[in-house]
Amino acid sequence: MKSNTELIHQWMEETIQKDWVCVDMTCGKGRDTLEMAKLAHHVTSIDIQEAAIEQAKALSSQYDNITFIQDDHINISNYVKDFIHLAIFNLGYLPDGNKKIQTTADSTLMALSKIYPRIRKNGYLVVTCYVGHKGGKEEHETVKRWIDHYKNFETTIIDSGKRNAPITYICKKTSFDSR
Ligand SMILES: C[S@@+](CC[C@H](N)C(=O)[O-])C[C@H]1O[C@@H](n2cnc3c(N)ncnc32)[C@H](O)[C@@H]1O
């Protein structure tokens, strides 16, 4: 069975167009950033940790269409001023990294609210939640409630139903009006 990451990368290949502008809200090791850089016009990739940004830069060194930013993603509107086609969140902590540095329900909610207005009509928001670690279930509930609130999202859910498996929401923003 394919992992959520593999399924998202397959979805990216089928969906992302050459002129797309994408934002990776949780750069991490940069696997999602690299996939988007192969397909899109430009990727902005943000992470709060230097270790993540360094690994991601090394992974995608042949690509010159990525802007890496080391900052809290709640500050994303300082860097992304124009409309974008896709924003992706892969929540939690850096694999093999410092598990104390992880996304939280509060900061994720704030970051979602900051990037939402930048997503163009028919653009996408992709969020993967991990429920197995401390705070993960609460974060997932918060993300789910936030997504459910937006009636203009057409949402596809990747959920194997297995205990503690990651859950991914692929949300298409069908209009600017959320009612
Ligand atoms: C699961 S990893 C992302 C994996 C990544 N998408 C990949 O392809 O390798 C989650 C990342 O979120 C980052 N992070 C946690 N809190 C953050 C915050 N407030 N702002 C920005 N990044 C944050 C962590 O440093 C970690 O690298």
Per residue in 86-119, pLDDT (tens digit) is 999 999 999 888 888 999 999 999 999 999 999 9
Express each pLDDT in 49-94 by its tens digit: 999 999 999 999 999 999 999 999 999 999 999 999 999 999 999 9
Please count the other Cβ atoms lying within 10 Å of the Cβ belonging to residue 172.
16
pTM above 0.95?
yes
CA–centroid distance, 93 to ligand 1, in Å, is 6
**Is 139 a pocket residue for ligand 1 (Cβ < 6 Å)?**
no
Of the residues 26, 86, 110, which should be mutated to test ligand 1's pocket, given the most ligand atoms within 8 Å of the CB? Answer: 26
For residue 127, give the 3-state DSSP assignment.
strand
State the amino acid at position 70 in one-letter form: Q
Closest CA to 169 of 130, 113, 134: 130
Q: Longest C-alpha distance within the chain, in Å?
A: 43
CA–centroid distance, 160 to ligand 1, in Å, is 23
**Is 85 a pocket residue for ligand 1 (Cβ < 6 Å)?**
no
For the chain, what is the radius of gyration of the CA atoms? 15
Q: Domains of the chain (ranges plus CATH)?
A: 4-173 (3.40.50.150)
